[in-house]
Structure 1
Amino acid sequence: MVDREERQEVGPEAGPEVGPEAGEDCVLCPPLRFRLNAMADLPGERAVLAADDDFFLMPDLAPLVEGHVLLVTFRHLQCAGAFGKGLWAGAWQWRHRVARVYRAAYGTDDLLMFEHGPGTPQGGGACVDHAHWHLMPARPGVRSVRAVLEEHGLHGVPATRETVRGHYRAGRSYLLVDERGTPTVHPGDGVPSQFLRQAASASRTWRWQESFGLPASRTRFLHTLGDLRAALAAEGGTASAA
């Protein structure tokens, strides 16, 4: 649910689907939500693995590994820096739930989570100005993003809502990373688009636009859908659509 402080943060209530900055060109908002799925001939609404009032979980369309999913807000918020206390807490509850699902599906609850939060519209590396977190199991082929950031001098501090919100309210981009259960936030100004995905994949040239719709991506998407649906069913979870 949206708490009082969050209402103050994002302005007057705009209903469950959109916030004050929503636009018809956002691919994570209606009416364009799932348009890219259709372009890749993949399930859209039926691919939502689980949902509540605030978030929905679905496979990434250009997954780095099987199990790569996106946690997306229903409301059009720019990034996690705009979250109120309730939404921030809810996002981390989802993170822990995904870890349990990974344990059932892949035998490990060790995961990588990241977000390139834009401080200003189109000011981050996410390519989409709508809050979403990438999560994937720590499997072969997934590198330590935090180690890459440290190598580039982008040193982190413990990630709290206050540290992330501080970057956002100052109009500064940030890099939110959770590895081995330790969340950190790093400066993101000047960091190029898709840097975090390239760091995780060990490919400096990887771009989702070039992987989207290719046979390998479609196979990973469908395997992720099947594996995690089965794990959620075993957990007693829901595959309710958005």
Structure 2
Amino acid sequence: METSRFAEPDSGNYSDICTFCNELSGAQSPLIDLGLANGPKDYILYENENFVAVPCLGPLTDWYVLVVARRHTLSSGWMSDLERDDLRKTIREVSRLLKSTSGSEVVVFEHGSYDFRNKGGSCQDHAHIHLVATNQDVAELIEIVERHVRLTPVEDWLNAAANAVQQKRSSYLAIETAGGSYLAPATGAPSQFFRRSLCEWLGTDADGWDWLAYPNVERLANMINTRLSAQGT
């Protein structure tokens, strides 16, 4: 794919204003604030040079993690070819570990921001991919999502995401299940669109998508204590 001539919006160091940059620097973390950890090493479930996997605040299932980019970038669509290739491998490995630990299939999704205004439903200005382990019928989730957006099947959602951002200059919604990968335009999508859909799919509290209001400390503690990486070898 041709490299876009458009540069990602960037204003330098984000550690003072970006929750994830701050957290990865070891300065602050909601998990530390909740008394669940003393530092990042206590709760990082998997890591490599470019990405870390951590428990997602407000987990809607027993195993729900985020793969977070170490470099501050708005979404995977803004990543370089090499970064996306590494992210592809990271998602594959963390999914394997999640499935091995939980015994469940894994659903992957991302709210893909184009810029700070066209955020694609993302609640954070830093690239993070959701991986959710569940035994629910994923076909039902796709049906729920398609009530609100038009999903297009794609061969590789990471490449399709890069095309959406770098060529079409638009935000996107990406979802990957065992049945395939899909992308949809995300302009106007509400904050945490996929988490809202997950709540309906899983039959949980209608407001449970709000991780700030419902951090679900017990599930967070279980993920931290079980240590995902130790289970999947």
| TM-score when normalising by structure 1 | 0.79
Contact 1:155–1:186 at 8 Å: present in 2 too?
yes
Deviations 1:199-234 (A, max 9, x none): 01215533112112xxxx11101112233x2x5224
**Is 1:208 aligned with 2:216?**
no
Deviations 1:76-129 (A, max 9, x none): 011001111111111121221122212321223x21111111111143222111
Q: Secondary structure at the match of 2:169?
A: coil
Alignment of 1:17-36 (within 5 A): 21-23=12-14, 24-30=16-22, 34-36=28-30
Gaps of 5+ in 1: 12-18, 237-242
Change (3 A) 1:135 1:37: same
Contact 2:164 2:170 in 1 (8 A): yes
Displacement of 1:134 after TM fit?
Answer: 0.5
**Structure 2 unpaired stretches of 5+:** none
CA deviation vs aligned residue, 1:5-43 (integer Å, no higher than 9, x gap): 79x9669xxxxxxx7554221000035764222222222
| DSSP-derived class of the 2:122 partner | coil
Q: Please name the residue that 1:16 is paired with.
A: none
Identity of paired residues, percent?
23
8 Å Cα contact 1:143/1:200 also seen in 2:
no
- In the comparison of the two structures, how many residue pairs are matched? 217
Q: Who is 2:62 aligned against?
A: 66
* DSSP-derived class of the 2:146 partner: helix
Counterpart AA for 1:112: V
Amino acid at match of 1:180: A
Change (3 A) 1:204 1:171: farther
Code of the residue aligned with 1:27 in structure 2: it is: T
Change (3 A) 1:37 1:118: same
RMSD (Å), alpha carbons: 2.7
Q: Secondary structure at the match of 1:134?
A: strand
Aligned to 1:165: 162
Q: Which of these residues, 29, 34, 44, is aligned with residue 40 of structure 1?
A: 34
Q: Give the letter aligned to residue 96 of structure 1.
A: R
Alpha-carbon contact 2:161-2:172 (below 8 Å) kept: yes
Other structure's SS at 1:208 match? coil
The question of whether the paired residues in 2 share the 8 Å contact of 1:81 and 1:164 is answered with yes
Length-normalised TM-score, structure 2: 0.82
Assess if the C-alpha contact under 8 Å between 1:143 and 1:199 holds in 2.
Answer: no
Q: Which moved more, 1:172-181 or 1:150-159?
A: 150-159
